[in-house]
Amino acid sequence: MAGGLLELREINACYGPVRALRNILLRIDTGNIVSVIGARGAGKSTLLKVISGITRSTGGTIRFQDRDITHSSTMEIVERGISQVPEGGQLFTQLPVLDNLRLGAYFYHNRKFKPDLEERLAWVYQVFPPLRRLANRLAGTLGREEQQMAAIGRALMARPKLLLLDEPSRGLPLRTVREIFRLVRRLNDQGITILLAERNFREALEIAHYGYLLGAGVVVREGTAGELLADG
């Protein structure tokens, strides 16, 4: 393994009196796909939101590239290289696909030396060829598969070092689910480290290097993807 990219140490999170995460220990090594699996309500989405700074932890520390980001804002976390695709995509449905994609690099727009957004767009279109054709369509008129492509493409516009995917297969037919997971593997082959939160146990582990099984906000089991698959 090339080395640790993200490390969670004794992370806790609460929604009012409800303790959603309990003493989570998690590590992601550079270049890996790590799958966090579990039933609905296990704490998978909360875990990703805590890493992104959307939900604040109530204890523990988060280190990314050996820097403490526990109390960093979501914008600071994105700038450091972590992008999240939320469950359901959460596109701006009244905006065209192109505008949704450009918003993925929003923190560059007012900088004196802003990156070449056209180059980023070209890369996203290479990853998702249909998005070029759909660029001027309102995001709300897209099918579920197309919306998921646009949501992932928006996150890629920030050129993340770590991509967080929250239930990317949700609501998709099996054929499309398999294509989404093949895409995740291709992104990883291009050097993007990925944390994948999924209920599709087998499909998520088949593309992963390592996995964590969550239940009621705690890590029930962890191990290599092969070990977890063997356990069934």
Q: CA 179: distance to chain centroid?
A: 17
Domains by residue range for the chain, with CATH? 1-81+160-232 (3.40.50.300), 93-159 (no CATH)
**How far from 89 is each of 149, 153, 155, 169, 226, CA to CA, in Å?**
9, 10, 10, 11, 29
Q: Which residues, 6+ apart, have CB-to-CB distance to 171 below 8 Å?
A: 88, 144
Q: Is the pLDDT of residue 114 over 90?
A: no
Q: Is the pTM here over 0.85, yes or no?
A: yes
Look at residue 46 and tell me whether its pLDDT is greater than 80. Answer: yes
**pLDDT recorded at residue 55:** 95
Please tell me the predicted confidence (pLDDT) of residue 88.
Answer: 86
Percentage helix, strand, coil, to 5, in the chain? Answer: 35, 30, 35
Collapsed DSSP state (helix, strand, coil) of residue 223: strand
45-63 mean pLDDT: 96
CB atoms within 10 A of CB 170: 16
Mean pLDDT, all residues of the chain:
92
Token reading at 180: 């989404």
